[in-house]
Amino acid sequence: MKIEPLRSRCREEALRRGVNPRDVDLLLSDLAGKPVTWLFAHGDAEIDERALVSLLARRYAGEPLQYIRGKTEFYGREFAVDERVLIPRPETEGLVEAAIERVPRDATVIDVGTGSGCIAITLSLERPDLRVIAIDKSVAALALASTNARRLSAPVRFAASDVLSAIRRVEFVVSNPPYIAEHIVESLATEVRDHEPRMALTPGPRGTEVIERILDQARPAPVMLEISYGQDGEIREVAAEHRYRVDEILDDLAGIPRVVVLSAAW
């Protein structure tokens, strides 16, 4: 079928179903193997209607667009993603930017719970002086992260580890840990709750369980963490309990406290 009538029909249906019509354009672009802008100038080109309908059915069922496409953008680079890993968010770019600015030159940085590898790989490429080690409890996640590192030519080392248990020497830690309290998960959007890996979303009833373990195992190394909305007060208490002090709390672009910079208190 020709692109333009198919695109118009599917965009209208997407609106009725509460899905962003741009998702239609992105999926069409993937099927055509061309940029989205190409679609506007080639409306008479033929496309496989059944393939698009199949992809949109997954989207209407609540599957995240990033998983359907098998990719997403993070810090200006394309990363492969699927249901083995959490989808990288723009908020996490703030953690990366903070680390780029604050990690000492020639340091060894450990990315705890690397998932897709987006943090570790970006740090490695933006700061070639750093030695970056990416760890994750999930071997499946590490496999995908390693694929991303190879494709982007990032010299990141990978290791399977439950938090920092497999690491002998810790010099600097960055992490976007699971931080959502267990009781909140059921209230999340369907595409998050039903598709993204649960262990990457919640560590337990409090939401700070993995953060507490990081602080226990990282000490006395500096730590930089992404945190949840409204969690900054709780993090101050947790830090004090685990003999860390909060040096900075940085807001994301929406003005929400999102990145915590910590150092050993004594």
The Cβ of residue 9 has, within 10 Å, a number of other Cβ atoms equal to: 13
Tokens 């890996």 label which residue? 197
| Mean pLDDT for the stretch of residues 10-35 | 96
Helix, strand, coil percentages, rounded to 5, for the chain: 45, 20, 35
Q: Inform me whether the pLDDT recorded for 246 exceeds 90.
A: yes
Q: Inform me whether the pLDDT recorded for 37 exceeds 90.
A: yes
| Mean pLDDT for the stretch of residues 174-186 | 96
pLDDT tens digit string along 75-119?
A: 999 999 999 999 999 999 999 999 999 999 999 999 999 999 999
* Domain boundaries defined on the chain: 3-61, 72-264
Question: How far apart are the C-alpha atoms of 81 and 87, rounded to whole Å?
Answer: 7
| Mean pLDDT for the stretch of residues 161-187 | 95
Q: Report the DSSP beta bridge partners of residue 226.
A: 259
pLDDT tens digit string along 48-82?
A: 999 999 999 999 999 999 999 999 999 999 999 99
For residue 227, the model assigns a pLDDT of: 97
Q: Inform me whether the pLDDT recorded for 31 exceeds 90.
A: yes
For residue 192, the model assigns a pLDDT of: 95
* CB crowding 123-141: b at 16 or more within 10 Å, else e: bbbebeebebbbbbbbeeb
The Cβ of residue 161 has, within 10 Å, a number of other Cβ atoms equal to: 20
DSSP H helices in the chain:
3-16, 22-32, 36-41, 49-60, 65-69, 90-102, 118-126, 139-151, 190-193, 198-201, 209-218, 232-241
Cis peptide before 128 (omega within 30 of 0): no
Q: Inform me whether the pLDDT recorded for 131 exceeds 90.
A: yes
> What topology is assigned to 72-264 in CATH?
Rossmann fold (3.40.50)
Question: How far apart are the C-alpha atoms of 217 and 87, rounded to whole Å?
Answer: 26
Residue 266: pLDDT band (50, 70, 90) is confident
Residue 1: pLDDT band (50, 70, 90) is confident
Q: Confirm if 156 and 121 have CB atoms less than 8 A apart.
A: yes
Q: Confirm if 30 and 24 have CB atoms less than 8 A apart.
A: no
| Mean pLDDT for the stretch of residues 231-254 | 95
